[in-house]
Structure 1
Amino acid sequence: MNVGAHVSISGSRVSSDTETPPYDDIRNAVCRQVAFGGNCGQIFTTSPQVWAQPEISEEAALGFREETAVKLEGPWVIHSSYLVNLCTPKDDLRAKSLSSLQAELDAAEKLGIPYVNTHLGAHTGAGVEGGLDNAASAVDELDVPESVTILIESDAGSGTKLGGEFAHLAEIIDRTDTEIGVCIDTAHTLVAGNDLTTPEAVDETVSRFDDIVGLEHLEYIHLNDSKHDVGTHKDEHAHLGEGYIGEDGMAAIINHPDLRDLPFALETPTEDGRGFAWNIQKAKELREEGQD
Structure 2
Amino acid sequence: MTLNVGAHVSISGSKTSGDDESPPSDGVDNAVWRQRNVGGNCGQIFTHSPQVWQSPDVEDDEAEAFRAESDTHDIGPWVIHTSYLVNLCTPKEGLREKSRESMQEEVEAAHKLGIPYVNVHLGAHTGAGVEQGLENAAAVIDSLDVPDDVTILIESDAGSGTKLGGDFEHLATVLELADTDLDICLDTAHAFAAGYDLSTPEGVADTLAELDDVVGLEHLKYVHLNDSKHECGTNKDEHAHIGDGHIGDEGFEAFLNHEAIRDVPLALETPTEDGRSYEWNIQHVKELRDEE
Q: Helix, strand or coil for the counterpart of 2:159?
A: coil
Same amino acid, percent of matched pairs: 64
Task: Tell me, yes or no, if the aligned pair for 1:34 and 1:72 is still in contact at 8 Å.
Answer: no
Task: Tell me, yes or no, if the aligned pair for 1:228 and 1:234 is still in contact at 8 Å.
Answer: yes
Task: Tell me, yes or no, if the aligned pair for 1:14 and 1:28 is still in contact at 8 Å.
Answer: no
Aligned equivalent of 1:277, options 272, 276, 279: 279
1:36-80 CA deviation, whole Å, 9 max, x = no partner?
Answer: 000000000000000000111111100000000111343000000
How many pairs align?
A: 289
- How many Å apart are 1:200 and its aligned residue? 1.1
1:91-125 CA deviation, whole Å, 9 max, x = no partner?
Answer: 11001101111101000000000000000000001
Q: 1:29 to 1:22 in 2, by over 3 A?
A: closer
Taking only aligned residues, the RMSD between alpha carbons, in angstroms, comes to 1.3
Instruction: Report what 1:8 is aligned to.
Output: 10
Task: Tell me, yes or no, if the aligned pair for 2:125 and 2:164 is still in contact at 8 Å.
Answer: yes
Q: Which amino acid aligns with 2:232?
A: V
Q: Helix, strand or coil for the counterpart of 2:72?
A: helix
1:10-52 CA deviation, whole Å, 9 max, x = no partner?
Answer: 112569564x465211111000000000000000000000000
1:191-216 CA deviation, whole Å, 9 max, x = no partner?
Answer: 10001011111001100110011001
| Distance in 1 between residues matched to 2:177 and 2:237, nearest whole Å | 27
TM-score (norm 1): 0.97
Task: Tell me, yes or no, if the aligned pair for 1:117 and 1:183 is still in contact at 8 Å.
Answer: yes
Task: Tell me, yes or no, if the aligned pair for 2:24 and 2:30 is still in contact at 8 Å.
Answer: no
1:245-280 CA deviation, whole Å, 9 max, x = no partner?
Answer: 000001111111011110000000000000000000
Instruction: Report what 1:80 is aligned to.
Output: 82
| Distance in 2 between residues matched to 1:58 and 1:135, nearest whole Å | 31
Q: Stretches of 4+ moved more than 4 A in 1?
A: 13-18
| Distance in 2 between residues matched to 1:61 and 1:191, nearest whole Å | 36
In the TM superposition, 1:164-175 aligns within 5 A as 164-175=166-177
| Distance in 2 between residues matched to 1:162 and 1:57, nearest whole Å | 34
In the TM superposition, 1:125-274 aligns within 5 A as 125-274=127-276
| Unaligned stretches of 5+ residues in structure 1 | none
Instruction: Report what 2:67 is aligned to.
Output: 65
Q: Which amino acid aligns with 2:104?
A: Q
TM-score (norm 2): 0.97
| Unaligned stretches of 5+ residues in structure 2 | none
| Distance in 2 between residues matched to 1:71 and 1:49, nearest whole Å | 31
